[in-house]
Amino acid sequence: MEVLKINNVVKKFGDYTATNNVSFTVKQGSIFGLLGPNGAGKTTLIRMICNIFQPDEGNISLFNQQMSPEMQNRIGYLPEERGLYKKNKVIEQITYFAELKGMKHRDALESARFWLNKMGASGWENKKVEELSKGMQQKVQFISTVAHSPDFIILDEPFSGFDPVNTELLKNIILEMKANGKTIILSTHIMSQVEEMCDEVCMINKGVAVLSGKVSDIRQSYQKNTIHLEFSGMLDISDFTAVNILSQSEGKMTIKITDNLFDKREFLAKINEQVDIHKFSMETPSMHDIFIDVVSNSGGKIMVNDK
């Protein structure tokens, strides 16, 4: 079942087009990665999903209903720009946001205590927000997002401010919420988390959806045209017009073939004249490499959805 449907959405601010005919769907009980570089249009799109902005063209539906103020109670939104009341106590903060979403005070209090315990934050109830570290405040912000038990959750850079231990804790909680049927949009720049957690993704670049589909299908689409090299010496492939470098470090290089007529054997023979080759293999690149390739405009538009 498709919980969220984005259909040809356009949003302009004066002469600036923030999103241009963006379309995608999000399935129930999935984690959907919304990706893109800074300024790509992700936040504008998220705010339209939350009914903060209205699209100029196209439409957005959630649970087969058009977006409305009433639908907002079914959404939990963790914005990248955090917004806590510094002078309030932690328990007051969480229950206040839960009650804004329609929870009764008693239920909000019970949920707040449950989540504080789950996030390893028992004993913080009467601390003021301003007394907390950045990571502790981030936990309170996350709890405030999910305390009202929303069906649809949007997490914008949720791991920001967390150390590795708490990052792993939050990752496991997000996966647990998915297993319990929650639908989650995850916006992050950490591509390793996308590979680990997301079922499908949509990448926005300059307001346009340039990549979408299942993570496994996207990586597979790159597999047949990606070469991984390990070598000794200095390698210069600038004379080869049919390849693009996806990633490069000392003694290693991952390249993408951009021409179907590219002769791999001839390429190997020529670079072997420059360096000693230790490894030459066709491999599936990481989402990090694919992200770099697409954003640099060398990858074009990739739509591999299998609906």
Q: What is the pLDDT of residues 40-68, one digit of tens each?
A: 999 999 999 999 999 999 999 999 998 77
Report pLDDT digits (tens) over 4-21: 999 999 999 999 999 999
Spell out the residues 6+ positions from residue 184 whose beta carbon is closer than 8 angstroms to its own.
30, 31, 32, 152, 153, 154, 155, 174, 177, 178
Using the predicted structure, report yes or no on whether residue 69 has a pLDDT greater than 80.
Answer: no
- Please, which pLDDT band fits residue 239 given cuts at 50, 70 and 90? confident
Q: Predicted confidence band at 258 (pLDDT cuts at 50, 70, 90)?
A: confident
Taking residues 179-207, what's their average pLDDT?
93
* Pairing between β-strand 200-205 and β-strand 31-35 as defined by DSSP bridges: parallel
Checking if the pLDDT of 96 tops 70, the result is yes
Q: How confident is the model at residue 302 (pLDDT cuts 50, 70, 90)?
A: very low
Mean pLDDT score of the chain, rounded to an integer? Answer: 90
Residue 269 tokens read as 């023979």
Token pair in block for residue 168: 């792993």
Backbone angles phi, psi at 93, to 5 degrees: -60, -50
Where do the domains of the chain lie?
2-206, 219-303
DSSP state of 74: G
Nearest to 42 by CA among 157, 135, 146: 157
Mean of pLDDT values over 61-87:
86
Label residue 157 by pLDDT band (50, 70, 90): very high
Give the model's pLDDT for residue 290.
Answer: 86
**What percent of the chain clears pLDDT 70, i.e. is strictly above it?**
96
Q: Is the dihedral of CA 210, 215, 221, 224 positive or negative?
A: positive
| Secondary structure string (H, E, C) spanning 160-174 | CCCCHHHHHHHHHHH
DSSP state of 89: B
CATH number of 2-206: 3.40.50.300
Query: Average pLDDT of 202-223?
Result: 89
Rounded Cα distance, 20 and 262, in Å = 34
**Per-residue tokens: 247:** 């990633």
Strand, coil or helix: what is 157? coil
> Which is more confidently placed, 81 or 251?
251
How would you classify the pairing of strands 208-214 and 200-205? Answer: antiparallel
Who's near 109: CB < 8 A, 6+ residues apart?
Answer: 91, 95
pLDDT of residue 297: 60
Contacts of 26 (CB under 8 A, 6+ apart): 2, 3, 4, 32, 183, 185, 200
Quote the pLDDT of residue 229.
Answer: 94
Task: Supply 123's token pair.
Answer: 């004993």
Per-residue burial over 57-70, b = 16 or more CB atoms within 10 Å of its CB, e = otherwise: ebebbbeeeebeee
Element (H, E) at 290: helix 287-295
Residues 15-40 have a mean pLDDT of 94
- Running DSSP on this structure, what letter comes out for residue 270? H
Mean pLDDT: which of 132-146, 212-226, 251-265 is highest? 132-146
- What average pLDDT does this structure show over 198-210? 94
Strand ranges (E), 99-176: 152-156
Q: Which two tokens stand for residue 145?
A: 């997002």
pLDDT(304) > 70: no
Q: Is the pLDDT of residue 307 over 60?
A: no
